Amino acid sequence: MERAELRIVGAVVLLAIAGFAFVMARAVVVAASSGMYLKLRGVRARGTCVGMVPGRYGSGVAVRFEDLAGTTRTASVYGWNGTLLPEAGDPVEIVYSRRNPRNADRWPVRTQNAVGNVLYLGLCGLVIAALGAGALWVAVLAAWSAF
């Protein structure tokens, strides 16, 4: 291959890697926002349901609990799909973020969808990167043969 062709191939490979890295970074954000962070680094606490909280995708509960410092906090906890919501006064096991105790989820944290999302987005990233690299390669070859 000539020097110009090698530069073009290098550019195609770099674009494919950058696209894959972008998609994987998005997958990590999805995983972190869907409970993986809380499952790995969160603090478990026992709280009490103090009421219902309306949500966009379903109802949740307001849970009052004490954090590690002994401060009483209230967090909105969602994700009760397929299970009965606790009533006011019922004990609730939660896990919360040390940095932001209002960020809480019920224990155990459901992460099976998060893992599937990461795998799905990773595979989609590979497919999109391969298609993009192939399309760019065809365009480069067409432009190269025109000269």
Walk along the chain (147 residues) in steps of 10 and give the mean pLDDT of each run.
Answer: 70 76 72 66 90 80 92 85 81 88 76 63 75 78 72
Instruction: Of 24, 94, 28, give the one whose Cα is nearest residue 65.
Output: 94
pLDDT at 124: 75
pTM over 0.85? The answer is: no
SS3 99: coil
Q: Is 56 exposed, middle or buried (0-12, 13-18, 19+ CB in 10 A)?
A: exposed
pLDDT for res 104: 83
pLDDT at 1: 55
pLDDT at 114: 59
- In this structure, how many other beta carbons lie within 10 angstroms of the beta carbon of residue 109? 19
Sequence-separated (6 or more) residues with CB below 8 Å from residue 138: none
* pLDDT at res. 89: 92
Domain boundaries, the chain: 3-146
**CA 48, CA 112: separation in Å to the nearest integer?**
26
Q: Is 16 helix (H, G, I), strand (E, B) or coil?
A: helix
- pLDDT of res. 91: 93
CA distance 105 to 60: 10
